[in-house]
Amino acid sequence: MKSKKEISVSITDVKQSPMTVFATAKKENTGVYIYNRNRVAGVMLTAEQYERLIEKQSEQQDPTVKIAELEQSIRKKVAFGSLISAKNLDEQLTALGFITKKNETDNYTEMMNELNETGKIDYQLQKKEDRTNIFAEVIGEQSNQSQLPDKLIVKKIHLKIN
């Protein structure tokens, strides 16, 4: 799909000075169409423009794809069935974009209370442009193997869209 203000050059121009084409793309903040014998052969973008395009595309993904990718990322960061501190769990999930559960004094007491009362800790992913609400339900229990009150065993993490 062409932009409103189409900028184009011939493939010969690209061969002679590719950096000029990149400079034009950057200056005009748009892709530059490359023509070969009066037909579009491709579009040149700066690296930044390409990265923005990819980022925008990934934000518009099907939510089920997003969930699958997020589940994979969580499995790499949190080992199910092993002992983990509430702080470490919170840091791992916030690194993936979830809203922190710690309070203003860097205390995880409320988080552990939630776990003990309900058997789970609910996290919400920060809303992106697509406004999809994704929640993580961390199912586990407080560890009785440790003297420290903030240690827990994560059994499962369920992701759901609301």
Same structural domain for residues 67 and 119?
Answer: yes
Residue 20 belongs to some domain of the structure: yes
Residue 1 belongs to some domain of the structure: no
Same structural domain for residues 151 and 83?
Answer: yes
Residue 24 belongs to some domain of the structure: yes
Same structural domain for residues 15 and 67?
Answer: no
Residue 122 has pLDDT above 70, yes or no: yes
Q: Name the maximum alpha-carbon separation found in the chain.
A: 75
Count of domains forming the chain: 2
Q: What is the pLDDT of residue 60?
A: 66
Q: What is the pLDDT of residue 61?
A: 64
Q: Which domain holds residue 32?
A: 7-57
pTM to 2 decimal places = 0.60
Q: What is the pLDDT of residue 4?
A: 55
Average pLDDT score over residue span 34-38: 94
Residue 64 belongs to some domain of the structure: yes
Residue 2 belongs to some domain of the structure: no
Same structural domain for residues 88 and 74?
Answer: yes
Q: What is the pLDDT of residue 129?
A: 60
Q: Which tens digits make up the pLDDT trace of 73-105?
A: 999 999 999 899 999 999 999 999 999 988 877
